[in-house]
Amino acid sequence: MKRICALAIALGPMSLFLNPADAATNPKVVPLESKSVGPSYVSDAVTPTFKHVDVRTLAPLPDWQPGDPIREIPRQFSDPQVINPNPLNPQVDQFDRGAQRQQAFDSEQRAINGDAFNTPILNFPSVGNTGVSPSDVNGDVGKNHFVNSVNGSSGARIAIYDKVTGVQVGPTFSLETLGSGGACASGLGDAVILYDEVVERWVLTEFVSGGNDLCFYISAGSDPSNTTWMRYNFVMPSFPDYPKYGVWGDAYYAGANENSGGGRGVYAFDRTAMLAGAPATFQRFTVPNLAGFGFQVTVPADHDGPTMPVPPGTPGIFMRHRDDEAHNAGSNNPNVDFLEVFELTVDFATPGNSTFVGPQSIEVESFDSDLFGLSAFQAFPQPNGTRLDPLREPVMNRLVYRNFGSYEVLLGNLVTDVDGNDTGGVRWFELRRSGGRGAPWTLFQEGTYAPADAGGPADRWMAGIAMDESGNIALGYSIVRQSPAISAGMRYVGRQDGDTPGVMTTTENSIIEGTGSQGGSTRWGDYHSMSIDPEDGCTFWFSANVITGGSWNTQLAAFRFDACGDPTFTLSATNREQSICATPTGADLNTIDLTVTSRNGFTDPVDLDFGAAGLPVGVSGGFTPTQVNPTGMAQADITVDNTATPGMNTITLRGTSGATERELQANVLVTTLPAAVTTLSAPIDMATDVVLAPTFTWAPVAQAETYTLEVATDNAFANIVATAEVTGTSATLSTNLNSLTTYFWRVTANNLCGSDGSSAVFSFTTAAVSCAVYTSTDVPLRIPPTGTAGVTNSTLNIAAAFGGPIVDLDVVDMSGTHTFMGDIDFRLISPANTTVLFMGQACGTQENFDINFDDDAAPGAWPCPPTDGGTYQPTNPLAQFNAEDSTGTWTLRVTDNANGDSGELQTWGLQICIAGLGEGILIDGFEGPTPPPAPEN
């Protein structure tokens, strides 16, 4: 295992991937905020094992019978950090605007009734109840088969079906059957099934019992019933609960509810190596936790369509939703909430080049995550009154990506309270991006499916969504109601491309109605799946839970729109994102290879040109040949001279056949001169009392692509202590400089034509900072189990003579005993009553603790058990205390959330640095002849 130091940079108003004009003209787009360079964790290379399996020869697994043992798979949960549970600006109208639109549309009886979409092509039961809750049912459709999965008593159970007839191929079998030995032989479940349609290979995954392993099974061919499987056993830095995956061009991306220090994990697994059966690694970045949720995951986009995103190296995309009434309660906007988009660019050869950027925050209509609270595993009542889990926390499986050439799509859904009464509805959304990776994502449409139900509102949730090759959308989901009774069943709706925006336009269709109610467990599914047949690009497959006879079972259904699949063609191209230094005589772009692909038997010739407007000024070129019979290829050779307009130039690649027209855009960043010398702004030259993590700003210069900031301790820059490369005109250091120290800084603007040189050098001197360690004296204290109060409060007091505005705070020397670390949470409460959960329910069954917490610690997971006395990043930043006055009573609150186990808090303390000089406190790391006097407790 190798650890990589990461540099986090706060970007200024010209943030990466966003032109300032875009933000000005589209107020719903918020620029990407930060960039992490280098992963927090890089795995050792994992060599796969190989095993050929013909599932038709396997012995059937025994069926679970009523009365057999029932097992519930726990969801990893950390008690959320909630600073202000009551939003500053409460919502006045709690009825969801999207639900209002849907109900108004339905009342006008405009729903489509005659399309074959409303009648499933196939509709049949899949794997039955296994005695495990939840089922985690999901699957995917491939060339000739559908593969479905549920949780079983010994890991995931897999069933394979002929996608034409629905007949099962071979018996249901355990996923671990596809490998031999090792940790993966003890599968636990949470399987995800994906079909990598570009290479016609299957990707099956699950985690294991008793370790942090993730197991990948990659097929050698497209027939999952009879193929060789390559098994990769990756050991993760912390337990990867609720992993969700996406197929992408350069990696299999994943996000998990990792619940370790430094935030939740996102990962990139080396797809190229894994498809080749070669040793493969993964890289991990972390996403800062949101307040309000104890269960969190940032999900990756999963690609649908016959070609991968182009050009190669297009960053993997991740998303989460942010309900600012729950997550930013002290500064919320009651009218909007947000979708947060992150981008991960991975370099497996040189991990230090990998970057994780985001979020780009996209405003959407306000949704409400408060469904029977923000953390309860129950919300939606069944006919028997038992409530089912709403899964409010993630964007649901899958976040779908499609590339239509002239624009890209992100399609997803989440659950929301539609009326303030804990009624579940499905918020769905479609984002689009035109102009390639340099352009921002924008909201194209959104809606909430919660129609007006006869007899009173029903709950709809646990949805799957997908888009066919024609842009039509299908949405499948669970439905339940206590009274009049609707047992948990499966339904679906849809809309065709070009229909009224923001609503589902078909009638609601039943796949299967439930019977009875689930008892004994509130868990429901955890996730379902909606997939698209890669062969026709049109047939949707929905895999989900249904209640039959009082226990969960699973059902599969396939359906499609009539209008999808008419003969047509698609365009794809290489080298669509390029940069060039244009010369007077002209410089050649890399050749663009354009592929014209036939869909559904299309054979007519396609004429190629550069669109109605032609090529931009200073750009010349042509196609060879200018007409292609699909499927066929052509080349675009393009030259750019220095009469071209500096900046981004868009080149249209158009194919026309009769009335059918398709377009792609290639983006070329043109520079004609070296970047000029910039002028520094702040800190001003010879500034004093500068904060230890200053924000540097400078003037923009024409044609600059990037700016390099350098900070040194000498004006010759022989000792550079910090550097950053950004696309905007500001950067904030992620770590503190030394206090009472003079530094020198400069900025160099760069582009492909070079640079005219660095700016003038400015100097500044940092402010004085005084630090001290304070130790609690009311310990040891018992940590009782939850049944006997369960809360332990230990305090320490900081006298006014030692107080001041906090610059930095660390938790030090926190040690004690406990027989089940996964039961307990640690919170720090300031004199101003700010509360930060800094360690939550970590390390499961492990015992005892001896650990320190510092925001500036090296990224990485805590050890389990956490007893090495090391220093690690907290679950939530301790920087939330910065700028508060340290004077007064601080409380360490230890909460035991379960019965049975207990322990003792033995020691803890705080290291606090304040701006200025506190009486008796020494400067900058306690340098001096004597330690500070012990504060009163």
Q: Where are the domains of the chain?
A: 49-54+112-531, 568-575+592-668, 680-767, 770-915
pLDDT of residue 933: 38
Which residues does 26 contact at the CB level (< 8 Å), separation at least 6?
440, 442
β-strand partners of 577: 667
- Cα separation, 42 vs 833, in Å, equals 38
* Predicted TM-score of the model (pTM): 0.66
Residue position matching structure tokens 């010369």: 583
pLDDT of residue 805: 82
pLDDT of residue 38: 82
**Closest alpha carbon to 34 in 683, 599, 694, 724:** 724
**Closest alpha carbon to 733 in 35, 4, 10, 38:** 10
What is the architecture of the domain spanning 49-54+112-531?
Answer: 6 Propeller (2.120)
Kindly list the averaged pLDDT for each block of 10 residues, start to end, along the chain of length 937: 31 28 34 68 95 95 78 62 51 80 80 73 96 95 97 94 98 95 92 95 94 95 96 94 95 89 87 95 92 89 82 87 80 84 95 92 94 87 94 96 90 96 97 87 96 96 96 97 97 89 93 94 94 95 95 97 82 86 95 87 94 94 96 96 92 90 84 96 94 90 93 97 89 82 97 96 92 94 73 92 87 95 88 86 86 89 90 87 90 84 94 75 37 37
Half-sphere exposure of 13 (CA within 13 A, CB side): 9
**Six-digit token string for 675:** 């970047």
Backbone angles phi, psi at 644, to 5 degrees: -65, 155
**Closest alpha carbon to 136 in 72, 77, 183:** 72
CB-based burial, 32-41: b 16+ in 10 Å, e otherwise: bbbbbbbbbb
pLDDT of residue 93: 61
pLDDT of residue 407: 87
CATH of domain 568-575+592-668: 2.60.40
pLDDT of residue 310: 61
Pick the CATH number of 680-767 from 3.30.230.30, 2.60.40.10, 3.40.50.9100, 3.30.460.10: 2.60.40.10
The answer to whether the CB of 118 falls within 8 A of the CB of 562 is no
**Closest alpha carbon to 314 in 667, 725, 730, 749:** 667
CB count within 10 Å of CB 688 equals: 12
Q: Is 760 exposed, middle or buried (0-12, 13-18, 19+ CB in 10 A)?
A: exposed
Q: Is 770-915 the same fold as 49-54+112-531?
A: no
State how far Cα 392 lies from the chain centre: 15
Domain 770-915 belongs in CATH node 2.40.50.140: no
**Six-digit token string for 222:** 């497209």
The answer to whether the CB of 698 falls within 8 A of the CB of 711 is no
